[in-house]
Amino acid sequence: ELPFAKLESWLSQFYKTDAQMGVQFIKKETGKLGFDHYRYHQTVNGIPAELSMFIVHVKNGLIHSLNGEFFSNVSTATSSSLSENGALVKALDYINATTYKWEIQAQEDHLKWEQNDPLATYYPKGELVLINVDGKIDAALKLAYKFNVYAEEPLSRRDVFVDAITGNIIWEQDLIHEADVVGTASTLYSGTQTITCDNSSGPFRLQETGRGNGVRTFTNNNTTTYSNTDITNGSATWSTPDAGLDAHWGAEMTYDYYLNAHGRNSIDDAGFQLNSYVHHDNNYSNAFWDGQRMTYGDGGGNNTPFTAIDIAGHEVTHGLTSNTANLVYQNESGALNESFSDIFGISIDFINRPLIADWKLGDDLGFTLRDMENPNNYNDPNTYLGNFYYLGPNDNGGVHTNSGVQNFWYVLLVDGGSGTNDNLDAYTVNPLGMTVAAEVAFRNLTVYLTSSSEYADARFFAIQSTVDLFGGCTAEVQEVTNAWHAVGVGPKYTPVTVSDFEAPLFSSCSAPFTVNFNNLSVNGITFNWDFGDGNNSTLMNPSNTYINYGTYTVELIADGGPTCGVDTIVKVAYIVVDSLLPCVSILPQN
């Protein structure tokens, strides 16, 4: 295992250009299994590569594993010929809104109040970044200005990337993550529930400070203007039904779920304040997370508020995703983004209303947005690239439609099931229950997935998350793998142990020579190493110091227990310590 302090010098060996590579720290999180998880952006000549994100998993000061996107061959300009103001003009011409948030003083004042920052503004500030054309990670990198543009009319909030040389729009990312609902119907609420409110400034209002940094619910009074307008009542007994009560209770229950089930203090694990705004606009048939708050419309005729608990949990989970994997809201990564919101929104519903909850999102409103158990019923796919799978440009590349694939995976994992998918593959999945399924999905989202992750990544790291939680070659690994096979992502589970390893450096011109071995085995539970010099180890990722010159054969025996068996790999003459070899040094970054 590599010491964490040597991360940057180790990464430099993979960089293939003369441009100066660096890393930009994003955040650190401490997991339940004793690991610290560090998220980074890659930088080139000090400029961040927007879609590069990699996660370093560290235990006891040693790097256990690393995953994510790291661009190795960068050849692009890193100085702009277009001014920031000139680029902003291009961005606003592209958005072409009639009104923007920063043009409305009440909106600016509210933002300053909401963020407790007298300098806060919606006015876009340009940031120089490197962005892949059309947001595709295999496309060329371009130097661009990134602007966060929040339009009032028509409503939109987007990151717009303007080529810093030509002024062309390279890409845009939609930041309004919606529940995707169209229609009107009668609303069914959740009956009488226990909520927390306060009366510190007069009448009772929907605010509390006990959960994280607070849960607050306000009304927009059927306008598009955000304000700190409280929903009030004469006592702590709220007898008149209101959408604000559902939104407030839903936010509280979502906070409690992430804290109690996953040990997370709000969506950023630091007590992020959950602000909800109800009665948004007139006849607004949707709900959305805009990057900092939840907003709920009242539906057609203003009589169907989009504040059911599964929708509230869905929108808050978009905030969790933006603070962890930050899945780009486009194509497969966007479908995963929507799916995780569905998964946890519905899970929160089952926990809080076990007698009436089901796998349908939004059915409390009198119609269904998506059916996780039967996605095909609403023209959503249950098989990757199968029937109803959407490959066009609408809906940000089908983010709501194609969420059906992982949604159905989750249902199979919870309840089990058997059948034949659209690829004509027969499958059987035994149920693991919601607690186990949610643990796997949560670890996958918060520990492993990155901005550009796709369905293949979701499968791989869901399996890895299961191994982390329950061990290799377990019943849990079998069902997680088979559930992905059922939805057309990857082969079915094979109970076989495969032994494999590698070393970042395996030759040296001088002795002693210390080698760090990375264990790549599949389904192994215990390990036995023979380093070829008389030394042995049973560690998962050991290191060995070769004292003498010579050529050494390394053997690894991986034991997967009675179910998966034993496998051995022998790499002949793998380690070479010879004074005739060229001496290679990795210099420090400075």
Is 315 part of the annotated catalytic residue set?
yes
Q: How far is CA 498 from CA 469, 484, 521, 524, 525, in A?
A: 20, 20, 5, 7, 11
Catalytic residue selected from 152, 208, 315, 439: 315
SS3 558: strand
Length of the chain: 590
SS3 77: coil
162 CB burial (10 A radius; 0-12, 13-18, 19+): buried
Q: What does the block give as tokens for 369?
A: 């947005």
Pairing of strands 274-280, 294-297: parallel
Which DSSP letter does residue 508 get?
E
Other beta carbons within 10 angstroms of residue 443's beta carbon come to 22
DSSP notation for 369-430: SEESS-GGGGT--SSTTSTT---SSHHHHHTTTTTHHHHHHHHHHHH-EEEE-TT--EEEE-
Is 502 part of the annotated catalytic residue set?
no
Pairing of strands 294-297, 566-577: unpaired
**Per-position b or e across 128-139, b if 16+ CB within 10 A of its CB:** bbbbbbebebee
Closest alpha carbon to 459 in 418, 398, 406: 406
β-pair partners for 518:
502
Catalytic residue selected from 41, 279, 318, 400: 400
Q: CB–CB of 309/352 below 8 Å?
A: yes
Active site (catalytic) residues: 315, 400
